């Protein structure tokens, strides 16, 4: 592959082509990132239909904002940030009348203790707010200040909910681990 072909295959080149309306470039960008974006949306919402909507909206926003994106903008973090913001907005909209406690600490009592291998299931059993805070802080690297700003709360609110949620998760993991050794 010569230098020009290498350059044509880069994200910056695809962005430039997409900006000119090249649909193949749109699709290439989409294919590169859709799995990660859809997975993030699914982990934050726990709802396949909501995850699809969020993934779709994220790419539509990217397509609509192409002229504002610099060629050297790393797309993955940008897309993840948009998807996370959409998930948070949705969560706030859907649960605006629910209290923080109801959203953050009531891990499903009926579910069986989880093992590490069942982390995905454990995550799904977390209530929406707790799941979102845990994933964004632990896996996506959001700071408490960023979480607080996005949720319109204080950093101590974020720390408190995260701390309780992680404690519950560890309890379930410990329980699951001891059950495995029996």
Partner 1 sequence: MNTSDGLRHALEELHDPPAPEALWPRLRARRRRQLRSRRAIMALASTGLAAALFVVLVRPGTVPAPAIVTRAPSMHASSADDMDARVRAIDRALQAAYDRGASDTEIAPMWEARHALLAGNDTPRGHATDINDI
Smaller CB separation from partner 1, 56 or 160: 56
What size, in residues, is the chain?
A: 182
Residue 55 beta carbon to partner 1: minimum distance, rounded to whole angstroms: 6
Which candidate, 99, 110, 117, 87, places its Cα nearest to that of 177? Answer: 117
Q: What angle do CA 19, 25, 30 make, to 5 degrees?
A: 105
- The residue from 15, 25, 38, 144 that contacts partner 1 (CB under 8 A) is 38
Among 76, 154, 170, 180, binds partner 1 (CB under 8 A): 170
Q: What's the token pair of residue 161?
A: 């909910």
Closer to partner 1 by CB, 120 or 156: give it: 120
Q: Identify which of 93, 117, 97, 118 has the alpha carbon closest to the alpha carbon of residue 108.
A: 118
Site for partner 1 in 90-129 (CB under 8 A): 116-117, 119-120, 122-123
**Whose CA is closest to 101, among 170, 157, 172, 171?**
157
Cα 51 to chain centroid, rounded: 9
Give me the residue label for tokens 């959409």. 86
Size of interface with partner 1, in residues (CB under 8 A): 36
Q: Which of 12, 35, 106, 179 binds partner 1 (CB under 8 A)?
A: 35
- Residue among 53, 60, 144, 142 nearest 93 (CA): 53
Nearest in space to 34 (alpha carbons), one of 91, 83, 67? 83
Q: Indicate whether 32 belongs to the interface with partner 1 (CB under 8 A).
A: no
With binding defined as CB under 8 A, does residue 74 bind partner 1? no
Tokens at 79, concatenated: 């897309």
Q: How far is the CB of 181 from partner 1 (least distance, A)?
A: 14
CB of 30 to partner 1, least distance (A): 6
CB of 21 to partner 1, least distance (A): 8
- Site membership for partner 1, residue 173 (CB under 8 A): yes
Please report, as ranges, the residues that interact with partner 1 according to CB under 8 A.
23, 26-27, 30-31, 34-39, 42-43, 48, 52, 55-56, 59-60, 63-64, 116-117, 119-120, 122-123, 135, 138-139, 166, 169-170, 173-174, 177
């Amino acid at each position: 592959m010569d230098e020009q072909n290498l350059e044509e295959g880069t994200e910056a080149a695809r962005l430039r082509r997409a900006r000119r309306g090249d649909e193949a470039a749109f699709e290439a960008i989409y294919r590169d990132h859709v799995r990660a974006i859809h997975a993030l949306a699914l982990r934050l919402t726990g709802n396949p239909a909501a995850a699809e909507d969020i993934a779709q909206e994220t790419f539509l926003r990217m397509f609509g904002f192409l002229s504002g994106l610099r060629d050297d903008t790393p797309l993955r973090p940008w897309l993840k940030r948009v998807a996370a913001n959409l998930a948070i907005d949705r969560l706030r909209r859907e649960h605006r009348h629910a209290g923080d406690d109801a959203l953050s600490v009531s891990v499903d009592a009926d579910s069986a203790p989880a093992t590490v291998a069942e982390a995905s299931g454990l995550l799904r059993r977390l209530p929406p707010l707790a799941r979102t805070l845990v994933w964004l802080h632990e896996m996506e690297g959001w700071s408490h200040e960023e979480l607080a700003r996005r949720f319109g709360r204080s950093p101590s609110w974020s720390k408190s909910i995260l701390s309780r949620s992680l404690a519950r998760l560890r309890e379930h993991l410990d329980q699951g681990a001891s059950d495995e050794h029996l």
